[in-house]
Structure 1
Amino acid sequence: MNVLFIIDPIASLKAYKDSSVAMMYALQARGHQLFITEPQHLYIRNQVFATVQAIQVRDGADLTQHDWWQYSGESIERNLADFDAVLMRKDPPFDMEYAYTCHLLAYAEKFGAKVFNKGDAILTHSEKLTITEFAQFTSPTLVTRDMKRIRAFHQEHQDVVVKPLDGMGGSGIFRLQPKEPNLGSILELLSRNGQQTIMAQRYIPDIVKGDKRILVINGQPVPYCLARIPLAGETRGNLAAGGRGVAQPLSERDWEIANTLAPQLRERGLFLVGLDVIGDYLTEVNVTSPTCFVEITEQTDFHVANFFVEQLEKVLGV
């Protein structure tokens, strides 16, 4: 297969822990050809094209260094429909340029491009808001820009977490305890004085045991999750916020959540999803560029990237 990655600049990737890089190695090991491009290189001229470049990854390379890959051809213009698979792996933030890229991908699909995850599916599944479809699995939640409502929610539940709807890596997340002296300032900052919608959720004490990332690939849950355990005194378990990743088997509740959401999300065009679960509660549904392939693979007997490629081949009939 010829597989196109739409990613951030390849030189900026932290290859030793990057899930996209793990995918590249698994794909190349099975004989598939790799291509890369960035969102700014996509364009419409009747159909959707991109300036792309073939690459190879180097077996045995030190992934902490920058020479783990090399170009294997000149940059060329290609129709996205010419590729066997197009993998959307651009990291957030999910701004308007990200949305425009998804629109281009959705348009490319009309001409035969096979995109994972589908552009329109990414557009219609906010990583924070999608949990509201599955209220049976969520902690009490409020979504609003009205600071009075958030204050009332805080008064009701006493200990809550507030966060922006477009953040990543734990950025902008605040825990508001019963006597938070900076309550007003935090709400003004996050909601931009009531001009931006945010989310509030009742605090889940089980965060001390980890914010679990459950990967779902082609409707199949990976049997291990990565519990991202916060630093001492920290509310956020995100690896980007200093959390420590510990792989562990899915619990009975994890399986219930994953098996309920998996078939529905697959039918909607979401091939790869990262479910975030704290304790017994679903907190996010990640659809842009879910991670944790490397950490789970290194700590268990389950090779996530190989499973990803096997499922991709299955869908494409390879």
Structure 2
Amino acid sequence: MDILFVADPLAGFTLYKDSTYAMMAEAARRGHGLWACEPEDLAWRGGRVAGRVRDVRLHAQARQGDWCAAGAAAWRDLADFGAVLMRKDPPFDEAYLNATYLLEMAERDGARIFNRPGALRDYNEKLAIARYPQFIVASLVSSRPDEIRAFLAEQGDIVVKPLNAMGGSGIFRLRPGDANLGAILETATGLGRRQVMAQRYIPEIAAGDKRILLIAGVPVPYALARIPAPGETRGNLAAGGTGVAQPLSERDRAIAAALGPALAADGLLLVGLDVIGDWLTEINVTSPTCFREITAQTGCDVAALFVDALERQVAA
């Protein structure tokens, strides 16, 4: 089948860690056709949603900066593809939101979209944890610096983060007496006009922020623990963290078992749960990653598991 990847520019892929590339390579190995476009290439024209797409051919000897060839751009109806994978990284801004509207229109015309556009909107990657209070630490969402200050006084040590970013961007650890507290809260909340999430600080971050991948509701047997660099609070790989693959713990499996079926039923084929210690901190649905690191360190072929699930979904 032909698979369309709606993603960031291909030239920006970092091959050794890019999960979208891993998906493409496995799909191509199985003989599927690869196509790509960016969200801004989607359009509603003639009463249908189409993309200005390019066919993608992977080089046998792929290397950074020279791993594929792309054909000329041409309009093609999204319903003509066997599957459309939405793999655009956050921020979840107005452009991303509009892309989900167009993809949902295409879905009504018969396109098979993964993850489902409506689910991408419904599962804000920070707020979605509120659906599972039994697995989360004390948390607050507010735009008011005074409320965040009160929460900090109550908890003693907190993390504040934006609701629409990724890769550790905009995350602050706050403790009472911080001389920059006022400025940080003004910046984070946009002078009280933008909601942020505050959570009790989890000391187990020192052992890693675990990424647990769910494919069609089933957990990959290994998580990637992203361990913060010395002097850093954030474990995100984009913030200099080191990824260490490890088997799922009993608690990891319990969280995955509780969330997996509901997430899959809502149209989320691929989800990345973030767990620190025993606590769920995020539910990532936009472009979950860590395929390459887990496969390289354990031999568990995550891309093969994903394409297996994709083929089953399309055939169903």
**Shorter-chain TM-score tier:** over 0.9
The equivalent of 2:242 in structure 1 is 244
Correspondences of 1:1-318 after superposition (within 5 Å):
1-45=1-45, 46-62=47-63, 65-71=64-70, 73-317=71-315
Residue 52 of structure 2 aligns to which amino acid in structure 1? T
Q: Deviations over 1:203-235 (max 9, x none)?
A: 000000000000001111101000000011110
User: Which segments of 5 or more consecutive residues in structure 1 lack a partner in the other structure?
Assistant: none
CA distance in 2, matches of 1:209, 1:68: 35
CA distance in 2, matches of 1:186, 1:192: 10
What SS does the aligned partner of 1:61 have?
strand
Residue 287 of structure 2 aligns to which amino acid in structure 1? S
What SS does the aligned partner of 1:59 have?
strand
Displacement of 1:178 in angstroms is: 2.9
Q: Deviations over 1:74-106 (max 9, x none)?
A: 322110000000000111111100000011001
Q: Deviations over 1:18-64 (max 9, x none)?
A: 000000000000110000111111101211011111111122322xx
* TM-score, length basis structure 2: 0.98
What SS does the aligned partner of 2:197 have?
strand
CA distance in 1, matches of 2:159, 2:126: 13
CA distance in 1, matches of 2:180, 2:75: 53
Residue 47 of structure 1 aligns to which amino acid in structure 2? R
Identity %: 55
CA distance in 1, matches of 2:243, 2:121: 29
Instruction: Compare 241-250 and 75-84 and name the one that shifted more.
Output: 75-84
Residue 55 of structure 2 aligns to which amino acid in structure 1? A
Displacement of 1:192 in angstroms is: 1.2
Residue 265 of structure 2 aligns to which amino acid in structure 1? E
CA distance in 2, matches of 1:40, 1:109: 18
* TM-score, length basis structure 1: 0.97
CA distance in 1, matches of 2:174, 2:227: 20
User: Which segments of 5 or more consecutive residues in structure 2 lack a partner in the other structure?
Assistant: none
Displacement of 1:195 in angstroms is: 0.7
CA distance in 1, matches of 2:112, 2:148: 42
What is the aligned residue count?
315
What SS does the aligned partner of 2:24 have?
helix
CA distance in 2, matches of 1:43, 1:186: 39
What SS does the aligned partner of 2:166 have?
coil
Moved over 3 A (4+): none
CA distance in 2, matches of 1:283, 1:220: 19
